Homo-oligomer: A and B are copies of this chain.
C-alpha cells in the first residue's frame, strides 16, 4: 500500500472513532475549522479545544513545579460566572489556579511537505494562583476582576478563530489554484494576500527569511506582546 492510501485508511480509522474528549464532541466554536481541515485529503485533526477557562487544584504533596494529583474544579468553553468560580474554589484543598487556555489544534498531515502547512500557536493565556493549601489568597473583588479578563480573552479568542478560519480557507484555495493552473510567478505574487500581516518586530527577525522567502505565506493575526494565533503556509510545490 502506498503512503497516500495508507494515510487515507488511517484518517478514516481515526475519524470513525468516538470523540475521545470528556464531553465526547468537537467544541462548537471550532466545528467549521475542523471540518475545513478534514475536508482536505492531506489533513485530519486528532484533537482540538476551542479555548477554555479552567480551575485546577494541585495537591499539596506536589510542592514542586511538576505537580501530581491535579484535580479539575471547573471547566467551561463559554464565558464564566463569578458564583460558579467561588463555589468551585470552596472545594480546593491544595493550590488552585485559574487558567485561560486559547485554541489548541492537533493536525495530522500526509507527508513532511504537508506538515509544513500548519503551525498554529497561541500564547494568549492567563495563569493565576488563587489558593495555597486550600486557603484563598485573593479577595472576591479580585476574582470578579479576573473573570472579566478571562471572559474578554475568551471573546478575543473566538474572533481569532474566525479570522484564522477565513485566512486558512483563503490560503487553501490559493494552494489548490497553485497546484492546478497558475504559473509559479503568479502564485508568488498572489501570496501577498490581505491576510499577510507578519510584522518585523525587531531587527533580528528582519533577516529570518532564508527558508521561507517566496515559498510560504505567513498568516499572523497581529498582537502587540504575544503572537496570538499564527499560521505558516508552505505551498505543496515547495
Residues of B with C-beta under 8 A to A13: 207
Separation of A20 and B132 alpha carbons in the complex (Å): 40
Q: Does A121 contact B (CB under 8 A)?
A: yes
CB-nearest residue of chain B to A114: B211
A115-B211 contact, Cβ under 8 Å, with A46-B205, A137-B145: yes
Instruction: Say whether B66 contacts A224, CB under 8 Å.
Output: yes
Residues of B with C-beta under 8 A to A123: 123, 125
Instruction: Say whether A210 contacts B108, CB under 8 Å.
Output: yes
Residues of B with C-beta under 8 A to A127: 125-128
Instruction: Say whether A56 contacts B225, CB under 8 Å.
Output: yes
CB-nearest residue of chain B to A146: B129
Instruction: Say whether A111 contacts B142, CB under 8 Å.
Output: no
CB-nearest residue of chain B to A7: B210
Closest chain-B Cβ to A195's Cβ sits at a distance in Å of: 17
Q: Of residues 66 to 109 in A, which have CB atoms within 8 Å of B's CB atoms?
A: 66-68, 70, 106, 108-109
A-B contact pairs, 25 of them (CB 8 A): A7-B210, A14-B207, A20-B202, A20-B203, A20-B204, A46-B204, A46-B205, A65-B153, A65-B155, A66-B156, A66-B223, A68-B224, A70-B225, A110-B210, A110-B211, A111-B211, A112-B238, A115-B211, A125-B125, A129-B145, A129-B149, A137-B139, A137-B142, A138-B139, A139-B139
